[in-house]
DNA sequence: AAATTTGACAACCGCCCCCTG
DNA sequence: CCAGGGGGCGGTTGTCAAATT
Protein backbone atom coordinates (compact mmCIF):
# COMPACT_ATOMS: atom_id res chain seq x y z
CA UNK A 1 0.00 0.00 0.00
CA UNK A 2 1.55 3.19 1.13
CA UNK A 3 0.79 6.66 0.09
CA UNK A 4 -1.68 7.35 -2.58
CA UNK A 5 -0.45 8.27 -5.94
CA UNK A 6 -1.69 11.78 -5.48
CA UNK A 7 0.58 12.14 -2.52
CA UNK A 8 3.63 11.49 -4.63
CA UNK A 9 2.95 14.46 -6.75
CA UNK A 10 5.49 17.11 -6.42
CA UNK A 11 5.29 20.38 -4.60
CA UNK A 12 2.33 19.45 -2.53
CA UNK A 13 1.93 21.56 0.50
CA UNK A 14 1.58 19.97 3.88
CA UNK A 15 0.77 21.18 7.29
CA UNK A 16 -1.68 23.77 8.37
CA UNK A 17 -4.00 25.31 5.90
CA UNK A 18 -3.79 28.99 5.25
CA UNK A 19 -6.93 31.10 5.06
CA UNK A 20 -6.28 31.54 1.38
CA UNK A 21 -6.26 27.82 0.84
CA UNK A 22 -9.40 27.45 2.85
CA UNK A 23 -11.05 30.07 0.77
CA UNK A 24 -10.02 28.43 -2.45
CA UNK A 25 -11.28 25.07 -1.37
CA UNK A 26 -14.46 26.47 0.02
CA UNK A 27 -15.19 28.42 -3.10
CA UNK A 28 -14.47 25.50 -5.31
CA UNK A 29 -16.66 23.06 -3.47
CA UNK A 30 -19.33 25.65 -3.06
CA UNK A 31 -19.40 26.17 -6.74
CA UNK A 32 -18.76 22.74 -8.15
CA UNK A 33 -19.00 20.26 -5.36
CA UNK A 34 -16.01 18.15 -4.64
CA UNK A 35 -16.57 15.47 -7.22
CA UNK A 36 -13.45 13.40 -7.44
CA UNK A 37 -11.33 14.49 -4.56
CA UNK A 38 -8.14 13.81 -6.38
CA UNK A 39 -9.07 16.41 -8.94
CA UNK A 40 -10.20 19.01 -6.46
CA UNK A 41 -6.81 20.51 -5.66
CA UNK A 42 -5.99 20.90 -9.29
CA UNK A 43 -9.30 22.48 -10.12
CA UNK A 44 -9.22 24.66 -7.05
CA UNK A 45 -5.67 25.73 -7.63
CA UNK A 46 -4.34 24.19 -4.49
CA UNK A 47 -0.98 22.58 -3.95
CA UNK A 48 -2.51 19.87 -1.85
CA UNK A 49 -3.34 16.28 -2.36
CA UNK A 50 -6.95 15.33 -2.72
CA UNK A 51 -7.03 13.54 0.54
CA UNK A 52 -5.81 16.58 2.32
CA UNK A 53 -8.57 18.61 0.70
CA UNK A 54 -11.13 16.08 1.64
CA UNK A 55 -9.99 16.04 5.21
CA UNK A 56 -9.94 19.77 5.41
CA UNK A 57 -13.44 19.95 4.08
CA UNK A 58 -14.84 17.24 6.30
CA UNK A 59 -13.15 18.31 9.47
CA UNK A 60 -13.11 22.03 9.15
CA UNK A 61 -14.85 23.68 6.24
CA UNK A 62 -18.09 21.79 6.09
CA UNK A 63 -20.84 24.29 6.73
CA UNK A 64 -22.82 22.17 9.12
CA UNK A 65 -20.05 21.59 11.57
CA UNK A 66 -21.08 22.48 15.03
CA UNK A 67 -17.66 23.39 16.39
CA UNK A 68 -17.26 24.45 19.92
CA UNK A 69 -17.06 22.33 23.00
CA UNK A 70 -19.02 19.18 23.39
CA UNK A 71 -22.18 19.18 25.39
CA UNK A 72 -22.77 16.83 28.24
CA UNK A 73 -25.19 14.83 26.16
CA UNK A 74 -22.70 14.55 23.40
CA UNK A 75 -20.00 13.34 25.73
CA UNK A 76 -22.39 10.86 27.20
CA UNK A 77 -23.29 9.62 23.81
CA UNK A 78 -19.69 9.22 22.89
CA UNK A 79 -18.99 7.19 25.97
CA UNK A 80 -22.01 5.06 25.42
CA UNK A 81 -21.38 4.51 21.80
CA UNK A 82 -17.77 3.78 22.44
CA UNK A 83 -18.82 1.07 24.81
CA UNK A 84 -20.61 -0.60 21.98
CA UNK A 85 -18.71 0.41 18.92
CA UNK A 86 -15.22 0.74 20.20
CA UNK A 87 -12.95 3.03 18.28
CA UNK A 88 -15.22 3.24 15.30
CA UNK A 89 -15.12 6.96 15.36
CA UNK A 90 -16.89 7.49 12.14
CA UNK A 91 -19.83 5.49 13.34
CA UNK A 92 -19.84 7.32 16.60
CA UNK A 93 -19.66 10.58 14.74
CA UNK A 94 -22.62 9.53 12.69
CA UNK A 95 -24.69 9.71 15.85
CA UNK A 96 -23.58 13.21 16.61
CA UNK A 97 -24.70 15.60 13.93
CA UNK A 98 -22.23 18.31 13.27
CA UNK A 99 -19.35 16.45 14.81
CA UNK A 100 -16.56 14.77 12.98
CA UNK A 101 -14.86 11.53 13.71
CA UNK A 102 -11.61 13.37 14.12
CA UNK A 103 -13.12 15.71 16.63
CA UNK A 104 -14.60 12.89 18.63
CA UNK A 105 -11.42 10.92 18.46
CA UNK A 106 -9.47 13.84 19.76
CA UNK A 107 -11.94 14.45 22.51
CA UNK A 108 -11.79 10.86 23.52
CA UNK A 109 -8.05 10.67 23.57
CA UNK A 110 -7.44 13.95 25.26
CA UNK A 111 -10.34 14.31 27.59
CA UNK A 112 -12.83 11.55 28.05
CA UNK A 113 -10.27 8.85 28.60
CA UNK A 114 -8.79 10.83 31.38
CA UNK A 115 -12.12 11.56 32.94
CA UNK A 116 -13.12 7.94 32.87
CA UNK A 117 -9.90 6.91 34.48
CA UNK A 118 -10.41 9.48 37.16
CA UNK A 119 -13.74 7.86 37.78
CA UNK A 120 -12.07 4.51 38.00
CA UNK A 121 -13.40 3.28 34.71
CA UNK A 122 -11.23 1.72 32.13
CA UNK A 123 -11.90 3.73 29.01
CA UNK A 124 -11.11 0.80 26.84
CA UNK A 125 -13.25 -1.83 28.42
CA UNK A 126 -15.66 0.48 30.20
CA UNK A 127 -15.17 -1.67 33.20
CA UNK A 128 -13.98 -0.54 36.58
CA UNK A 129 -10.27 -0.25 36.45
CA UNK A 130 -9.75 -2.73 39.26
CA UNK A 131 -11.42 -5.36 37.17
CA UNK A 132 -10.06 -4.23 33.89
CA UNK A 133 -7.46 -6.10 32.00
CA UNK A 134 -4.63 -3.87 32.90
CA UNK A 135 -6.16 -0.67 31.74
CA UNK A 136 -3.57 -0.04 29.13
CA UNK A 137 -4.13 2.39 26.37
CA UNK A 138 -4.75 -0.18 23.77
CA UNK A 139 -7.80 0.40 21.78
CA UNK A 140 -10.69 -1.76 22.70
CA UNK A 141 -10.55 -4.96 20.87
CA UNK A 142 -14.04 -4.60 19.67
CA UNK A 143 -12.85 -1.98 17.33
CA UNK A 144 -11.42 -2.56 13.98
CA UNK A 145 -12.32 -4.90 11.26
CA UNK A 146 -11.81 -8.05 13.20
CA UNK A 147 -13.64 -8.17 16.43
CA UNK A 148 -12.88 -11.69 17.39
CA UNK A 149 -11.43 -11.01 20.79
CA UNK A 150 -13.63 -8.16 21.73
CA UNK A 151 -13.41 -7.03 25.27
CA UNK A 152 -17.07 -6.42 25.05
CA UNK A 153 -17.47 -9.95 24.08
CA UNK A 154 -15.68 -10.97 27.17
CA UNK A 155 -18.14 -8.98 29.13
CA UNK A 156 -20.98 -10.49 27.30
CA UNK A 157 -19.68 -13.88 28.12
CA UNK A 158 -20.40 -13.59 31.78
CA UNK A 159 -22.89 -16.05 33.14
CA UNK A 160 -26.47 -15.01 33.61
CA UNK A 161 -26.29 -16.01 37.21
CA UNK A 162 -24.43 -12.84 37.86
CA UNK A 163 -27.43 -10.80 36.99
CA UNK A 164 -28.25 -8.51 39.84
CA UNK A 165 -31.83 -8.69 40.95
CA UNK A 166 -32.53 -5.19 39.92
CA UNK A 167 -31.49 -5.99 36.45
CA UNK A 168 -33.29 -9.24 36.15
CA UNK A 169 -34.96 -9.66 32.89
CA UNK A 170 -37.40 -11.96 31.33
CA UNK A 171 -35.92 -14.76 29.39
CA UNK A 172 -35.18 -13.47 26.04
CA UNK A 173 -34.54 -15.29 22.90
CA UNK A 174 -30.92 -15.68 22.36
CA UNK A 175 -29.81 -17.49 19.32
CA UNK A 176 -29.99 -21.19 19.37
CA UNK A 177 -26.49 -21.03 20.62
CA UNK A 178 -27.74 -19.76 23.93
CA UNK A 179 -26.96 -23.14 25.28
CA UNK A 180 -23.61 -22.74 23.79
CA UNK A 181 -20.97 -21.88 26.33
CA UNK A 182 -19.93 -19.19 23.96
CA UNK A 183 -21.89 -16.15 24.89
CA UNK A 184 -23.78 -14.20 22.31
CA UNK A 185 -21.54 -11.92 20.47
CA UNK A 186 -21.76 -8.21 20.27
CA UNK A 187 -22.81 -8.68 16.73
CA UNK A 188 -25.66 -10.65 18.04
CA UNK A 189 -26.68 -7.84 20.28
CA UNK A 190 -26.43 -5.38 17.53
CA UNK A 191 -28.46 -7.67 15.46
CA UNK A 192 -30.91 -8.13 18.21
CA UNK A 193 -31.08 -4.49 18.73
CA UNK A 194 -31.68 -3.70 15.15
CA UNK A 195 -34.23 -6.40 14.89
CA UNK A 196 -36.02 -5.13 17.90
CA UNK A 197 -35.74 -1.65 16.70
CA UNK A 198 -37.07 -2.44 13.32
CA UNK A 199 -39.96 -4.32 14.72
CA UNK A 200 -40.79 -1.63 17.16
CA UNK A 201 -44.06 -0.39 15.87
CA UNK A 202 -45.19 0.80 19.22
CA UNK A 203 -42.51 3.36 19.21
CA UNK A 204 -44.66 6.34 18.82
CA UNK A 205 -42.73 9.45 18.09
CA UNK A 206 -43.09 12.65 19.82
CA UNK A 207 -43.41 15.53 17.50
CA UNK A 208 -39.76 16.13 17.69
CA UNK A 209 -38.76 12.58 16.98
CA UNK A 210 -36.72 12.24 20.05
CA UNK A 211 -33.49 13.69 21.04
CA UNK A 212 -31.93 13.47 17.63
CA UNK A 213 -34.97 13.38 15.49
CA UNK A 214 -33.64 10.87 13.16
CA UNK A 215 -35.57 9.27 10.39
CA UNK A 216 -36.96 5.87 10.88
CA UNK A 217 -36.18 2.86 8.94
CA UNK A 218 -39.20 2.96 6.77
CA UNK A 219 -41.49 5.71 5.71
CA UNK A 220 -44.48 4.21 7.36
CA UNK A 221 -42.80 3.55 10.61
CA UNK A 222 -43.09 5.91 13.44
CA UNK A 223 -40.06 7.84 14.29
CA UNK A 224 -37.89 6.62 17.04
CA UNK A 225 -38.52 8.11 20.36
CA UNK A 226 -35.21 6.99 21.54
CA UNK A 227 -34.84 6.77 25.21
CA UNK A 228 -37.43 4.54 26.59
CA UNK A 229 -40.74 4.66 24.90
CA UNK A 230 -40.05 1.63 22.89
CA UNK A 231 -39.88 -1.47 25.02
CA UNK A 232 -37.43 -3.07 22.75
CA UNK A 233 -34.39 -1.05 23.55
CA UNK A 234 -35.16 -1.65 27.15
CA UNK A 235 -35.31 -5.29 26.47
CA UNK A 236 -32.04 -5.05 24.77
CA UNK A 237 -30.68 -3.31 27.76
CA UNK A 238 -31.87 -6.06 29.97
CA UNK A 239 -30.30 -8.60 27.78
CA UNK A 240 -27.15 -6.70 27.84
CA UNK A 241 -27.18 -6.19 31.53
CA UNK A 242 -27.60 -9.85 31.93
CA UNK A 243 -24.61 -10.62 29.95
CA UNK A 244 -22.34 -7.82 30.73
CA UNK A 245 -20.07 -7.76 33.63
CA UNK A 246 -22.46 -7.58 36.46
CA UNK A 247 -20.93 -4.63 38.00
CA UNK A 248 -23.96 -2.39 38.13
CA UNK A 249 -21.94 0.65 37.44
CA UNK A 250 -20.59 -0.80 34.34
CA UNK A 251 -23.92 -1.93 33.22
CA UNK A 252 -25.41 1.42 33.54
CA UNK A 253 -22.49 3.22 32.18
CA UNK A 254 -21.79 1.09 29.25
CA UNK A 255 -25.08 -0.29 28.31
CA UNK A 256 -28.14 1.27 29.72
CA UNK A 257 -27.38 4.63 28.41
CA UNK A 258 -26.53 3.14 25.13
CA UNK A 259 -30.10 2.42 24.61
CA UNK A 260 -31.40 5.91 24.33
CA UNK A 261 -28.76 7.09 22.06
CA UNK A 262 -28.29 4.07 19.96
CA UNK A 263 -31.87 3.22 19.75
CA UNK A 264 -32.72 6.60 18.52
CA UNK A 265 -29.97 7.00 16.14
CA UNK A 266 -27.77 4.13 15.24
CA UNK A 267 -29.95 2.86 12.53
CA UNK A 268 -30.60 6.05 10.86
CA UNK A 269 -27.99 8.60 11.47
CA UNK A 270 -25.80 7.39 8.73
CA UNK A 271 -28.31 8.95 6.46
CA UNK A 272 -27.72 12.11 8.32
CA UNK A 273 -29.23 15.23 7.03
CA UNK A 274 -29.43 13.84 3.61
CA UNK A 275 -32.67 12.24 4.47
CA UNK A 276 -33.71 14.50 7.22
CA UNK A 277 -33.78 17.69 5.33
CA UNK A 278 -36.95 18.37 3.57
CA UNK A 279 -36.03 20.21 0.47
CA UNK A 280 -38.15 21.43 -2.32
CA UNK A 281 -37.77 19.14 -5.27
CA UNK A 282 -37.11 21.95 -7.64
CA UNK A 283 -34.23 23.17 -5.63
CA UNK A 284 -32.10 20.19 -4.93
CA UNK A 285 -29.23 20.78 -2.66
CA UNK A 286 -25.78 20.90 -4.02
CA UNK A 287 -23.76 17.87 -3.48
CA UNK A 288 -21.58 19.33 -0.84
CA UNK A 289 -24.67 20.41 0.95
CA UNK A 290 -25.76 16.84 1.15
CA UNK A 291 -22.39 15.59 1.97
CA UNK A 292 -22.24 17.99 4.80
CA UNK A 293 -24.89 16.14 6.63
CA UNK A 294 -23.81 12.77 5.60
CA UNK A 295 -21.11 12.62 8.07
CA UNK A 296 -19.22 9.61 7.08
CA UNK A 297 -20.32 6.19 7.92
CA UNK A 298 -22.59 5.69 5.00
CA UNK A 299 -20.16 6.98 2.56
CA UNK A 300 -19.18 3.61 1.27
CA UNK A 301 -22.67 2.57 0.74
CA UNK A 302 -23.73 5.86 -0.68
CA UNK A 303 -21.78 5.07 -3.76
CA UNK A 304 -22.55 7.93 -5.99
CA UNK A 305 -22.37 10.58 -3.37
CA UNK A 306 -18.98 11.69 -4.45
CA UNK A 307 -19.53 11.96 -8.10
CA UNK A 308 -19.56 15.62 -8.32
CA UNK A 309 -22.99 16.96 -8.78
CA UNK A 310 -22.62 20.25 -10.45
CA UNK A 311 -24.30 22.95 -8.58
CA UNK A 312 -25.12 26.44 -9.56
CA UNK A 313 -23.32 28.82 -7.36
CA UNK A 314 -26.20 31.21 -7.48
CA UNK A 315 -28.27 28.80 -5.51
CA UNK A 316 -25.74 28.09 -2.93
CA UNK A 317 -24.08 30.16 -0.37
CA UNK A 318 -22.81 29.94 3.12
CA UNK A 319 -24.30 33.12 4.31
CA UNK A 320 -26.58 31.21 6.59
CA UNK A 321 -29.81 31.51 4.75
CA UNK A 322 -29.12 28.45 2.75
CA UNK A 323 -29.16 26.17 5.71
CA UNK A 324 -32.73 25.95 6.69
CA UNK A 325 -32.19 23.28 9.26
CA UNK A 326 -30.32 25.68 11.40
CA UNK A 327 -33.41 27.72 11.83
CA UNK A 328 -35.82 24.88 11.68
CA UNK A 329 -34.35 23.41 14.76
CA UNK A 330 -34.86 26.35 16.98
CA UNK A 331 -38.38 25.61 17.99
CA UNK A 332 -37.88 21.93 18.07
CA UNK A 333 -34.95 22.42 20.25
CA UNK A 334 -37.11 23.92 22.89
CA UNK A 335 -39.55 21.11 22.63
CA UNK A 336 -36.89 18.53 22.85
CA UNK A 337 -35.94 19.42 26.30
CA UNK A 338 -39.42 18.65 27.43
CA UNK A 339 -39.77 15.34 25.78
CA UNK A 340 -40.55 12.41 28.01
CA UNK A 341 -37.51 10.60 26.78
CA UNK A 342 -35.46 13.60 27.47
CA UNK A 343 -36.73 13.61 30.96
CA UNK A 344 -35.73 10.06 31.31
CA UNK A 345 -32.38 10.97 30.00
CA UNK A 346 -32.17 13.68 32.56
CA UNK A 347 -33.04 11.20 35.20
CA UNK A 348 -30.13 9.20 34.16
CA UNK A 349 -27.88 12.16 34.10
CA UNK A 350 -29.06 13.24 37.47
CA UNK A 351 -28.37 9.99 39.13
CA UNK A 352 -31.43 7.90 38.60
CA UNK A 353 -29.10 5.22 37.40
CA UNK A 354 -26.41 3.88 39.61
CA UNK A 355 -23.48 4.87 37.54
CA UNK A 356 -24.66 8.36 37.19
CA UNK A 357 -25.24 8.63 40.86
CA UNK A 358 -21.87 7.22 41.56
CA UNK A 359 -20.27 9.61 39.23
CA UNK A 360 -22.06 12.52 40.69
CA UNK A 361 -20.83 11.59 44.09
CA UNK A 362 -17.35 12.07 42.89
CA UNK A 363 -15.77 15.28 43.88
CA UNK A 364 -15.23 16.27 40.31
CA UNK A 365 -17.96 16.27 37.77
CA UNK A 366 -17.43 14.00 34.91
CA UNK A 367 -18.81 16.41 32.47
CA UNK A 368 -18.53 20.02 31.95
CA UNK A 369 -21.31 22.47 31.87
CA UNK A 370 -24.06 21.97 29.46
CA UNK A 371 -23.82 24.59 26.88
CA UNK A 372 -26.77 26.50 25.69
CA UNK A 373 -25.80 26.30 22.10
CA UNK A 374 -27.83 24.23 19.77
CA UNK A 375 -27.12 20.78 20.87
CA UNK A 376 -28.32 18.85 17.95
CA UNK A 377 -28.93 20.93 15.02
CA UNK A 378 -30.75 18.34 13.05
CA UNK A 379 -33.43 17.80 15.60
CA UNK A 380 -36.92 18.15 14.39
CA UNK A 381 -36.28 18.14 10.74
CA UNK A 382 -38.99 16.84 8.56
CA UNK A 383 -38.46 13.64 6.78
CA UNK A 384 -40.07 13.62 3.44
CA UNK A 385 -41.53 10.28 2.39
CA UNK A 386 -39.29 9.95 -0.59
CA UNK A 387 -36.36 10.77 1.54
CA UNK A 388 -37.49 8.27 4.05
CA UNK A 389 -37.41 5.63 1.40
CA UNK A 390 -33.86 6.51 0.74
CA UNK A 391 -33.30 6.45 4.42
CA UNK A 392 -34.64 2.97 4.60
CA UNK A 393 -32.21 1.73 2.05
CA UNK A 394 -29.36 3.52 3.65
CA UNK A 395 -30.35 2.25 7.03
CA UNK A 396 -30.38 -1.26 5.75
CA UNK A 397 -26.89 -0.79 4.52
CA UNK A 398 -25.88 0.65 7.81
CA UNK A 399 -27.42 -2.19 9.69
CA UNK A 400 -25.64 -4.62 7.50
CA UNK A 401 -22.41 -2.89 8.17
CA UNK A 402 -22.99 -3.03 11.85
CA UNK A 403 -23.84 -6.64 11.90
CA UNK A 404 -21.11 -7.67 9.56
C1' DA B 1 10.09 36.73 32.74
C1' DA B 2 11.67 32.55 30.83
C1' DA B 3 11.34 27.68 30.48
C1' DT B 4 8.65 23.73 30.71
C1' DT B 5 4.48 21.13 30.72
C1' DT B 6 -0.09 20.24 29.36
C1' DG B 7 -4.17 20.15 26.58
C1' DA B 8 -6.74 20.79 22.49
C1' DC B 9 -6.94 20.71 17.93
C1' DA B 10 -5.41 19.95 13.14
C1' DA B 11 -3.34 17.25 9.89
C1' DC B 12 -0.82 13.34 8.11
C1' DC B 13 0.14 8.40 7.46
C1' DG B 14 -0.74 3.76 6.53
C1' DC B 15 -3.96 0.60 5.63
C1' DC B 16 -8.30 -1.31 3.97
C1' DC B 17 -12.50 -1.68 1.17
C1' DC B 18 -14.95 -1.01 -2.91
C1' DC B 19 -15.50 0.00 -7.59
C1' DT B 20 -14.12 -0.09 -12.22
C1' DG B 21 -11.73 -1.28 -16.32
C1' DC C 1 -10.40 -12.76 -11.93
C1' DC C 2 -7.23 -9.25 -11.07
C1' DA C 3 -4.91 -4.93 -10.60
C1' DG C 4 -5.17 -0.10 -9.82
C1' DG C 5 -7.28 3.99 -8.12
C1' DG C 6 -10.37 6.55 -5.14
C1' DG C 7 -12.41 7.15 -0.91
C1' DG C 8 -12.59 6.40 3.81
C1' DC C 9 -11.09 5.09 8.53
C1' DG C 10 -8.31 4.79 12.67
C1' DG C 11 -3.91 5.71 14.72
C1' DT C 12 -0.40 8.82 15.30
C1' DT C 13 2.15 12.98 15.11
C1' DG C 14 2.63 17.96 14.81
C1' DT C 15 1.43 22.60 16.24
C1' DC C 16 0.15 26.12 19.12
C1' DA C 17 -1.67 28.39 23.04
C1' DA C 18 -2.57 28.28 27.89
C1' DA C 19 -1.12 26.88 32.31
C1' DT C 20 2.35 25.85 35.45
C1' DT C 21 6.90 25.87 37.51
The DSSP code sequence of A134-165 is ---SPPPTTSSS--TT-HHHHHHTS-GGG--G
Name the domain boundary from A90, A113, A128.
A128
| C1' of B20 to CA of A402 (Å) | 26
Same domain, A91 and A53: no
**A168-173, long-range: CB < 8 A, 24+ apart:** A168/A238, A169/A235, A169/A238, A169/A239, A169/A241, A169/A242, A170/A238, A172/A235, A172/A238, A172/A239
| Residue A48 within any structural domain of the chain | yes
pLDDT at A10: 53
β-partners of residue A121 are A128
| Residue A97 within any structural domain of the chain | yes
Strand C close residues, chain A 94-123, CB < 7 angstroms: 101-102, 105-106, 109
| Residue A106 within any structural domain of the chain | yes
pLDDT at A371: 34
Domain that holds residue A90: 68-128
Residue A38 CB lies within 7 Å of the nucleic strand B: no
DSSP secondary structure letter of residue A255: I
Residue A143 CB lies within 7 Å of the nucleic strand C: yes
pTM for the complete prediction?
0.50
Same domain, A116 and A76: yes
Name the domain boundary from A85, A106, A128.
A128
Same domain, A93 and A117: yes
| C1' of C11 to CA of A133 (Å) | 21
Residue A5 CB lies within 7 Å of the nucleic strand C: yes
Which positions on chain B have an atom < 7 Å from some protein CB? Answer: 7-19
pLDDT at A77: 82
Q: Give the residue nearest to nucleotide B15 (CA to C1').
A: A1
Residue A297 CB lies within 7 Å of the nucleic strand C: yes
Q: Per-10-residue mean pLDDT for chain A, 404 residues long? A: 44 81 85 82 84 85 80 83 82 83 84 81 76 42 34 34 32 35 39 39 33 33 32 32 34 37 37 34 37 36 34 34 34 36 35 34 36 34 35 37 35
Looking at the 3D structure of chain A, how many domains does it have? 2
| Residue A231 within any structural domain of the chain | no
Contact A156, A246 (CB under 8 A): no
pLDDT at A56: 86
Residue A393 CB lies within 7 Å of the nucleic strand B: no
Tell me, what CATH number does A121's domain have?
A: 1.10.10.60
Strand B close residues, chain A 16-35, CB < 7 angstroms: 16-17
| C1' of B21 to CA of A95 (Å) | 36
pLDDT at A130: 62
Longest CA–CA separation in chain A, Å = 66
Same domain, A24 and A52: yes
Amino acid sequence: MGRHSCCYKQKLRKGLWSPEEDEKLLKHITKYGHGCWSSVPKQAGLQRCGKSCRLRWINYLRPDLKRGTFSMQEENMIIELHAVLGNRWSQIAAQLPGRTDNEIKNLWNSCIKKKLRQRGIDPNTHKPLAEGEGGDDKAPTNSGKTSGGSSDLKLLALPPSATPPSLALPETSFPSSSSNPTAPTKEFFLDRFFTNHESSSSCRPSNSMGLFSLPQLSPGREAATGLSVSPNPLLWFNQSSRLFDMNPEYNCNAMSTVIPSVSSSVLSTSMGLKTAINLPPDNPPPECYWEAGNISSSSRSSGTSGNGIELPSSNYSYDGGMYPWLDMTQDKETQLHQEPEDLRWSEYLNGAFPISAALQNQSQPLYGDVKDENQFATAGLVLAPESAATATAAAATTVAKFIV
